[in-house]
Structure formats: structure tokens, C-alpha cells
Structure 1
């Protein structure tokens, strides 16, 4: 699973572009070939349910729960940071500790303080602390920031919390340029070798940590953070992958679940192959919306007003094929040219937010008409979190580490990928092939999966607000419907629109419903729809 916060939010606030399409970057699955909505729902009903943990804290974990954070000023004015410890292995707390980085911005007032509000922007692999300090701590509604201490913890293996590292900058440059639509056996071998090198790099960096970066463990860490903050219940806003993390917390600790907002929901009951193929269809839905908008604009390089959506897709695929044969210049100081893989990633990055569509049109125009790939390369770099010096954040490393641990691999061989190509290409004629091959990487991971698809019911939890966007590319709307159906206390809130996630993206209806819930504890009516 991979989920990313919106592109426009990065350009507007300089917040880190947080991974959200990682199903396609690091697919993982139990291997089911289910691809239709009806059969997927039937399979979900037969899936095991996540069991709640005992209410009593085990004696071996008591020292962790009794920690008191030592806050220090950090980052921008008003922010504080601390470090907490959690057991590396919850099954054997004596095996050592892991350090968790935590940051907060205290409630500004006026009004009675409501406790802490933890936030997670997605990924897996996105830095919650980076998101807090660059956006949420200053950009969340003032009335929310007035009543809550805004808190972020980087999950284990992410950013400031003992980050997983796999490849250096030049190695990642090579990896991101690898052809993920192999045309023959030689290109297939090259792709497999790239996946192996990536996995071996991660395994060499942190062999012990790599076994303990699952979502279940990260959710248990959040309960330690909750206790250290002095809160009886966890209040939380999670976006994209953050919804899976928050729902997992609710399933493990329903009696400690406070006000939870799960925006851009994942469906925890699906296998990774199901998740991948449904996300592929989600990106096709987003591309269709982009294509319809593009041909209405005077600067659309993919067609004119009379060009149909299917032809727009064919024109883009033809451009990708040309890049596959002859990459074009970008002016990059490292000498990178725009390859098919980098161009595809650049287009995908812009699908997260309709606010990025003008930038995508300009980048495509420059590449297709002026032989200048700089714009698409910049979009791709933003997706991968590559800076101007050629260094990469650990986003993609942590993303693979969590995904490959949470679920068994989607495919176990290139032959399985080839067999699934018709289903993926049906889901998205434009992106299907690349998404299918990208889902092979977990097969070569050095650590076996410890998780499996599970329904999450969280019986006994307080009302939980699940938010879905009807044309969300990375977390299809059906996933929000499914998660809301699973959670015993869920209230489904729908945004009829484009882009990834809904809260804080311009809908007064959505924002008002969520703010009312966070401030008063009154959830929206189940099934409420906004546009």
C-alpha cells in the first residue's frame, strides 16, 4: 500500500510530498486473482477479523507505558520534540528497544483543551513530523489547533524514527529509471535484478528492524505514545495509509479509541493483488477525469475538444513508447534523461490532485513538443522525494519495508505478472502494465510477511468517521465503503469530487463535518455526501 498527500499542498505550503501510491511501487498480496467488486466483497466477508488485545497492559510493557517525554524546542517556533522508546519486538520485549521521534505544538487556546490530536499523512513512509511542522501545525483549522495539542510520531522505520535505508542517491537514480514495462526476457531480468538489489540494500542496512516495521507494531507504538501524552483515549486524523494505521489501532484498542477520522480509506480485508488492481482502476478513473478536462483546455498536448478519452490515453501511451525507445533530455545535472518509467511516475504524481493538472499539461507539452523532459522529471522527483542535491528521503525504503511485511507478495514470478496483465490493462489501459510489474517487488524481499488480509470491526469503539472521495486515484471510493461497512461504529462521509483525500482540500461541507466531530464529538450522519 502506498498513499500520498496531495501535490497542491506541497506547492502551497512546502509540506513533504508523502507517499500514497505505493501499492504500485511496492505491491504486496496474498495472491488471490479476484478483481471484480462483487467477488472481492464476497472474499472480504470470509476474511479473518483483527482481534482486540487484552485491556490490561502486560507487565513487560509497563515501563514503556510509564514514560514521560522530555520536550525540547525544535524546528519552527512553537514546536517541541521528544524521543520515546518502544520494544523492537512486542512478542519479546527483552530483545531491545526502538526509538520513536515525537513532535507536538501545544494547544493555542482559547477554549478548553481537548487533549492530543495525533496525525499521520500516509505512506507508509511519510514523515508525520515533517507533515506536522510544515502543514498541520499551522494549516489545520484554527479552532482545532486552539483546542488540541497537535502531535505527530514518525512510525518505526520512518524518517526520524530509526529510518530504513536501502540505496544511496546515485543507486536510487538508477533504480527509478529501470524499465517497468519489460519487452523481452533481457529487460525482465534487468527489472528483477533491480528489485533484488533494492531488497538486498534494505536487508543489509537493518536486518533486525526490517522484521519489526509492520502496521500492527506501529499501531501498538501509538498506544505507548498516547499513554506518554497522558491521554485516556487516542484522538487521531489519518490520511490514506494513515487510515489503515488508525483502523488497526481501533481494532487492537477499541476501548481506547477516541475521535478518529480516517480520510482516503484503505480496505484492510483485501489481498495485495486485489489492492493493486483496484488502485490501478482508481488511477484510471482519475486519468479519465484529467483527460476530459485536458481536451477542454487550449494547451492540452494530448488532443483537442473532439478527442475522446480513449484516444487521449492512446496518445499518452504512444508518447511513453517513444520514451521507452529514446529517452529525452531534461537538463539534469546528474545527466538523467526522461525515461518511460520517470515520465509515467510524473504523470501519476499529478493524478493525486486536480490542482496539479495545469502543471502536468505544461510538462507534457514541453516533453512532447519541445523535447524537454524537465517538467515531468520534476514531478517524478517530487513523488520520490528526491532533493536538488540528488538525495532521497527514506519514503520509498520505508514504504517497501512496511508493505512487504504487512501482506504476502502479489506475485511470485514474472510469469504470474504476465498472466495478470490482461486484468491490469483492463483496469487501466494507460497504467495497467507498469502497475502490474511494479507489484512484483515484494517477492524478492529479504523478510517474509507477518501480516495477512483482515477485516477490522473494532467492536466497542466510539464513532469513527470514514471519509471517501468518489474519484480518488490512490484509495478508490469503494475502499471507504468497505471499511465503513467493517467498522462497527463507522460513519461514512463522502466527497463527490477529484483528488486524493478530502479534509482541508477546499470543501466547506467536509471540513465543517469533521471539525464538528473533532471539537464536539458529534459525528456526521452516516452516508452524508458533500461536493
Structure 2
């Protein structure tokens, strides 16, 4: 499931299910309300399994050790008052006395009086492969300040990410190589090149990851979260998981329902085991076509500013003109069609990108390539972090579940889908194709589900037109988590909506996190306002902002 920086950059899932099952699928798509087949019947996680016993052992040790807070390592680039520390977890929970790794953790203490403090609020921005180390800084944003008064804001880098036993599969410079081209309807020769590249990447993961590669999984991410909870001295966790963070948060709720105090699932992944992860990625590609159309509609609405076309089709023609141009002559010698597509994919995640990308495209077609080069060029300084995030993404998704191993299945599914959803389909396929050649034994996904009364009230936030985590996923997650409340942002597609621009959404999530009250089974909010074209002064002001939104 591909992700991009949310709140910074990796993902995707569908607003509408595919009309037919993917080639090689065992079961056809079903509506979110359908009951799972008998063979998928839920069973309680085995508390006597070696991994369960190992998690309990690791959590007890972490609770005794606590976290020694101090100055953050210079590579974290986190200013005061952020403090940092580490939490030791087993690489293999079946062997808690075996190899240990250290997860880096960050914190800013609650700003309100001690009597109002409600413990630690732990945040994960998604990925897999994104770091939450910057999360304590969010307390400086107006939308987050009421929560920052009540909670210690705690972020961490999951296993494999950043300085938490970092994983790599390829030389970062090679991974970020540019300019490159990526046709939306690839020919057989190009497909062969990408198959070979995917096979090499999977082999690189095996070579660099070694014997521990198989331990980068969503199950272990959930177990790590419980050890972090214990190290913080919290008997029960307060957790916000965005995008992929919602998935392993749901895995956590299934494994440790008695350890949950409050949980928010922002932009929820469809947790149906049959969706993890191959079918979720196909669904994601289909959904991005809808959000791509939303951006083109907006640009056409502002044709007096951008002059890219007065209809969606005319705007698409302008984009295709730019794609063809970058394929022939890379913009600034740095931006080929692959970099162009990667930059414009972000309009499907966050409409805050709409004015920036429209301006860059308009200027490029007028002969000024500087804005496009600034927005789409790979940053050499971030190559190591980008490759690290992709390595963790690949390892977790490939380890989590079985993937088709026959190229015929991938080719048929993506060729068919690209006929109606060409914008993201093949790029998404190439990102996930290493899983077809994965050298490790792949797991069976946990059947996310909680019994009635086992879990306290939890809150799900979802935008109706979210492409990265389509709305059907939120409905499915609510069905599986007994007593869950769903708050919907109507007619909107921003990915990650808590603490954002919609005051109605923020009232619901703030009320829940501060009081534990939910709005009932379902509540709805109108959409936040669409962006307006930016002036030059507004562009300069935005570029000077110091605190980023979170990242998915």
C-alpha cells in the first residue's frame, strides 16, 4: 500500500471497489457490510504463543527500565524543548533474550497544569517507513495546543526507520537516481526492465537485511508499541495512528485490547486480511484517478489564473504535454516524467498542494522551469532517508502477507486497471513488485477484530474521497472494532484530517481525546474549504514556515 508524506511522504488504497476480482484472487470484492466467509472466522489471538509471552517479558523489562530522557541526537534536528531517549525491544519476540534493538523516542511534556495531565499521547504517521520523531513539535500548532496541554506528545521511529536499527536495500544514490522516465502505458521492454529492477531490489533487501529481515512486520510494530507504552510508564495507551499507522494500531487493538485507553484511527486502512496488501494497492490506484480528476476540476475552475484549460480534459492535455516534454528533455536536467508524476501524486493526498503544482505546471509550459525543478527534483540531502523509508515499506508489506508470484497476474491486473486509472497504476505496481520475488516466508495477516466490550470506545476519522485510504476501509474497520465511532468528512479527499483545517472534525477528535466521549456510531462534517490560488507573497510565506504538518 503506497503512501506519501502526510502530515511529509509514502501510499495509496479505493473509493470504489474494482468491478472484477484481480487475476489470481481467491475471492471477489465484497461490500464492507458483508460477513466474511466461514474460513475467515475470527479467533482470539493466542496468548500462550511464544511471541505473546516474549512481548509480555519485554514490556515488563521496559516498564522497570523506563526511558532516560535527554538531548536529541544532532541527526534528529529537533530543537528544545524536545527530549529524546531509547526503548529496547527484541528483534524476535519469540526470543526475548536474543538480539535487541533500540527504538528512538521523542517527547515534549504536557504544557498544562499537572492536575489536568492525561498521560502520553503516542503518534505514528504511517508508511510503513515513516518516522514520528517530529510529532512533539505539533503542539506548537494552534489546532493541537489544547491536546498538548493535557498530554505529553510522544513520537518514535519504528523498527528499521531512522536510527532505530535502520534497514536499507539499495545504495541511496542509486535509489534517488534522476532524471528517469516512467510511461503510464509501458511496453514489454520497459516491463522487463522493471521486473529485473524489482528482483534486484528484493535481493538487495535480503543481502543487507540478512537473517533479521523477516522480523520487520506489522505484528512486530504492534508489539513494539506495547513495549513503548510500558517504557513510558503507562498502563494503557493513548494513540493516534494515521494511514498505515491505523492498520498496525488496529492490529494492536486486536492483540492488546485491555491496554487501550483512547485510540484514533485517522484515514483508516482496510484491514480485511484478503486486502493485505496486494488488493489494497490495486484499490488505491483506482482511487487516485478520482482525486486526480478533483485537482484537474479545481485547476479548470481557476483557468483565469493558470491558463491550463477550462475543462478537466484540457487540464489533462496540459499535463500530458508537460510529461512528453520532460521525457524528451528533463526539466533543469533533473526532472523526467517519473519525477514529474511523483511530484503531482501529492495533489491526490493533500489539496494544500493544489496551488503549488498548478503554478509550477503553468510556469513550465510558459517556458519557466524553475518552480517545477524546485518542487520535483529529488533532494540529494534526503536520499538516505528516502531509501530507508522505502526499504522498511517494502519489508513490512512483503513480509505481512502472501503476494502473487506470477508476473502474469501483475501484468493482467495492472494492464486492465490502467485502461481506466492510468495516473498511478503502474507506478504503484513497480513500487510493490519486489514482493513478487520476496525471499522470506510471508505471514498470514491477523484477522483484525475485537469482541463486544473488549475495547473501550475508539474513534475513526475518514474523508469520503481519500484516495490513499479509501472510505470503504473506514467502514470495514468500524465493522471489525466493536463500538467504534466513525466521523466522516463529506466531499473531501485530504489524507489525514485530524488537527487539520476542518473545525468540525477537530471538535470531534478533541472532545474524544480530552474526555473519551464519541459522537455515537457515526457523525458527519461538511468539507473544509478548497484552497485558493496563491499570490507570490503567500508562496514565499508558506516556504518559510518552520513546522511541517505530520507525514503519511
Q: What TM-score bracket applies, with the shorter chain setting the length?
A: 0.7 to 0.9
1:143-195, Cα deviation, whole Å (9 max, x unpaired) = 21111111112111111211112223320123883636574333222112222
Alignment partner, residue 79 of structure 2 = 76
Aligned ranges for residues 306-345 of structure 1 at < 5 Å?
307=311, 309-310=312-313, 312-313=315-316, 316-317=319-320, 319-321=322-324, 323-324=326-327, 326-330=328-332, 335-336=333-334, 338-345=335-342
Q: Residue 344 of structure 1: CA displacement?
A: 1.2
Give the C-alpha shift of residue 378 in structure 1: 4.3
Specify the SS of the correspondent of 2:4.
coil
Residue 18 (structure 1) aligned to one of 9, 12, 19: 9
SS in 2 for 1:370: coil
Q: Which structure 2 residues correspond to residues 367-386 of structure 1 after superposition, within 5 A? A: 367-370=364-367, 372=369, 375-380=371-376, 386=379
Question: Structure 2: which 5+ runs fail to align?
Answer: 15-21, 73-77, 527-552
Q: Name the CA distance, whole Å, in 2 between partners of 1:344 and 1:417.
A: 21
58-67 or 222-231: bigger deviation: 58-67
CA contact (8 A) 2:250 2:448 kept: no
Give the structure 2 partner of residue 450 of structure 1.
443
Q: Is the 8 A contact 2:284 2:470 kept in 1?
A: yes
Query: Following TM superposition, by how much is the alpha carbon of 1:241 offset from its aligned partner in structure 2, in angstroms?
Result: 0.8
Please say if 1:355 is aligned against 2:349: no
Say if 1:249 and 1:39 are closer, same or farther in 2 by CA, change over 3 A.
closer
Pair 1:196-2:194 in alignment: no
Local SS of the residue matching 1:141: helix
- Out of 212, 216, 221, the position equivalent to 2:215 is 212
**CA–CA distance in 2 between the matches of 1:50 and 1:313?**
49
How far apart are the structure 1 equivalents of 2:4 and 2:62?
Answer: 31
Change (3 A) 1:392 1:128: closer
Shift of 1:526: 1.6
Q: CA separation in 2, counterparts of 1:39 and 1:147?
A: 36
* TM-superposed deviation, 1:442: 1.3
In the TM superposition, what is the alpha-carbon distance from 1:508 to its structure 2 partner?
A: 1.0
TM-score of the two chains, using structure 2 as the length reference = 0.83
| Structure 1 residue 292, shift from structure 2 partner | 1.1
In 2 relative to 1, CA 80–345 (structure 1 residues): closer, same or farther, beyond 3 Å? same
- CA distance in structure 1 between the aligned counterparts of 2:131 and 2:36, rounded to whole angstroms: 33
| Structure 1 residue 518 corresponds to structure 2 residue 513 | yes
Q: Corresponding residue for 2:131?
A: 127
Does residue 112 of structure 1 match 2:109? Answer: no
**Larger displacement relative to structure 2 (107-116 or 468-477):** 107-116
Q: 1:355 offset after TM fit, Å?
A: 1.3
Matches for 1:7-406 after TM superposition, within 5 Å: 17-21=8-12, 32=25, 36=29, 38=31, 47=40, 49=42, 51-52=44-45, 54=47, 60-61=57-58, 62-74=60-72, 75-110=78-113, 111-130=115-134, 132-136=135-139, 141-174=144-177, 177=180, 179=182, 181=184, 183-269=186-272, 270-297=275-302, 298-300=304-306, 302-304=308-310, 307=311, 309-310=312-313, 312-313=315-316, 316-317=319-320, 319-321=322-324, 323-324=326-327, 326-330=328-332, 335-336=333-334, 338-370=335-367, 372=369, 375-380=371-376, 386-388=379-381, 391-393=384-386, 394-406=388-400
User: Contact 1:182 / 1:191 at 8 angstroms: preserved in 2?
Assistant: no
Q: Secondary structure at 1:342's aligned position in 2?
A: helix
**Separation (CA, whole Å) in 2 of partners of 1:198 and 1:139:** 42
Deviations 1:420-447 (A, max 9, x none): 1354225524333433444423112332
SS of structure 2 residue aligned to 1:194: helix
Normalising by structure 1, we get a TM-score of 0.86
Contact conserved, 2:284 with 2:468, CA < 8 A, in 1?
Answer: yes
Q: Which secondary structure state, in structure 1, belongs to the residue aligned with residue 464 of structure 2?
A: strand
Contact 2:32 2:476 (C-alpha < 8 Å) held by counterparts: no
Structure 1 stretch 191-200 or stretch 444-453: which is displaced more?
444-453
Alpha-carbon shift at residue 196 of structure 1 (Å): 2.5
CA contact (8 A) 1:412 1:440 kept: no
**Correspondence for 2:470:** 476
- Using the alignment, how far apart are the partners of 2:229 and 2:153 within structure 1? 12
2:104/2:164 contact within 8 Å kept: yes
| 1:498 maps onto 2:493 in alignment | yes
Count of paired positions: 502
Give a deviation string over 1:103-152, Cα, whole Å, max 9, x none. 1111111342111110111111111113x144356565222111111111
Go from structure 1 to structure 2 and tell me whether the alpha carbon gap of 1:144 and 1:40 turns closer, same or farther (over 3 Å shift). closer
Is the 2:462–2:471 contact (alpha carbons within 8 Å) kept by the matching residues of 1? yes
Moved over 6 A (4+): none
Distance (whole Å) between structure 1 residues aligned to residue 98 and residue 85 of structure 2: 23
Maintained 8 Å contact 1:22/1:399: no
CA distance 1:223–1:102, shift in 2 (3 Å): same
1:230 is paired with a residue whose SS is coil
In the alignment, is the contact (CA less than 8 A) between 1:188 and 1:414 conserved in 2?
no
| Unmatched runs of 5 consecutive residues or more in structure 1 | 10-16, 24-28
Q: Give the C-alpha shift of residue 369 in structure 1.
A: 3.8
Tell me what 2:3 maps to: 3
Shift of residue 498 of structure 1?
A: 2.8
